[in-house]
Amino acid sequence: MAATSVKFIKGVVDAPGLPQPSLPTVAFFGRSNVGKSSVINSLFRNKDLARSSSQPGRTTEVNYYLVDGRSYLADLPGYGYARLSNVMRLKIAKLLSWYAAAEEVDLRFAVLIVDGSIGAQDSDRETFALLREYGKNIIIVANKVDKGRRNDVVGHLRAMKEAFPDCPIIRYSAKTGEGRGELFSTLWN
Predicted confidence (pLDDT) per residue in 80-138, tens digit:
876 677 888 888 899 999 999 999 999 999 999 999 999 999 999 999 999 999 999 99
Q: Which fold has domain 6-188?
A: Rossmann fold (3.40.50)
Give mean pLDDT, residues 4-14.
93
What pLDDT does 151 receive?
94
> pLDDT at residue 173 above 60?
yes
Check pLDDT > 70 for residue 186.
yes
pTM for the predicted model, two decimal places:
0.93
- 135, 99 Cβ separation under 8 angstroms: no
pLDDT at 52: 65
Using the 8-state DSSP alphabet, how is residue 19 labeled?
-
Out of 31-40, 43-52, 64-73, 81-90, least confident range: 81-90
**Domain-wise residue ranges, the chain:** 6-188
Q: What is the pLDDT of residue 59?
A: 67
Q: Cα–Cα–Cα angle for 121, 176, 75, nearest 5°?
A: 50
**Of residues 63, 92, 89, the one with CA closest to residue 75:** 63
pLDDT(25) > 70: yes
Mean pLDDT of all residues in the chain? 92
CB atoms under 10 Å from CB of 136, counted, come to: 19
Segment 146-175 mean pLDDT: 95
Half-sphere exposure of 146 (CA within 13 A, CB side): 9
pLDDT band at 41 (very low <50, low <70, confident <90, very high): very high
